[in-house]
Amino acid sequence: MDAARQLELYSIDDIYNLPDGQRAELIDGELYMMAAPDRIHQRLVMVLSNSIFNYIQDKNGDCEVYPSPFAVFLSGDDRIYLEPDISVICDKNKLTDQGCKGAPDWIIEIVSPSSRSMDYNKKLFKYRTAGVREYWIVDPEKNRIMVYDFGHDTVAEYTFADSLKTGIYEDFEIDFSGINIE
């Protein structure tokens, strides 16, 4: 490939040098600008984060839940920086003041029109190879929740009429039929 056609590679320093209010993710040195989420997206993040947080608190659990914006550094290099919509981290040694160094145990992404390809393709691959145990793709436009349980190598598809049992907790489920997104 000639020099004129080479892709410019970015690093985490470029993320930190973005103008205030501008958010982006970095995958393999490629910068992906993030659009502001819509109301339904934010409602889902709030409701799901609260459900998970309340469950962990009620069980006196060790895991922590963080909604976006929360930095996840999946690998040891400076070419990957993600802000999952919801991250659940059970190994507190991965937590720093900057975010999570390594793979969270459970990640939930709420699909937006601008993030569809990233959530279903690039992030799916990155999360799986980094060691994320469970990955949910919540797609309100398609009325679909994809649950990837990487620990058991299973994939299941649900709708917003279903109640979903989590893979990382034996006795926790989220009833999507009770979530009002209108």
The residue ranges of every structural domain in the chain are 38-70+82-178
Type of residue numbered 41: H
Q: What pLDDT score was predicted for residue 53? A: 98
Q: What pLDDT score was predicted for residue 6? A: 59
CATH architecture for the domain at 38-70+82-178: Alpha-Beta Complex (3.90)
**SS in 3 state form for 98-146?**
CEEECCCCEEEEECCCCCHHHHHHHHHHHHHHHCCCEEEEEECCCCEEE
pLDDT in tens, 81-122: 999 999 999 999 999 999 999 999 999 999 998 889 999 999
Q: How many residues does the chain have?
A: 182
Q: CB within 8 A of 157, min separation 6: which ones? A: 144, 145, 146, 147
pLDDT above 50 for 1: no
CA dist 150 and 47 (Å) reads 24
Mean pLDDT is lowest, of 72-76, 125-129, 135-139, for: 72-76
Q: What pLDDT score was predicted for residue 14? A: 94
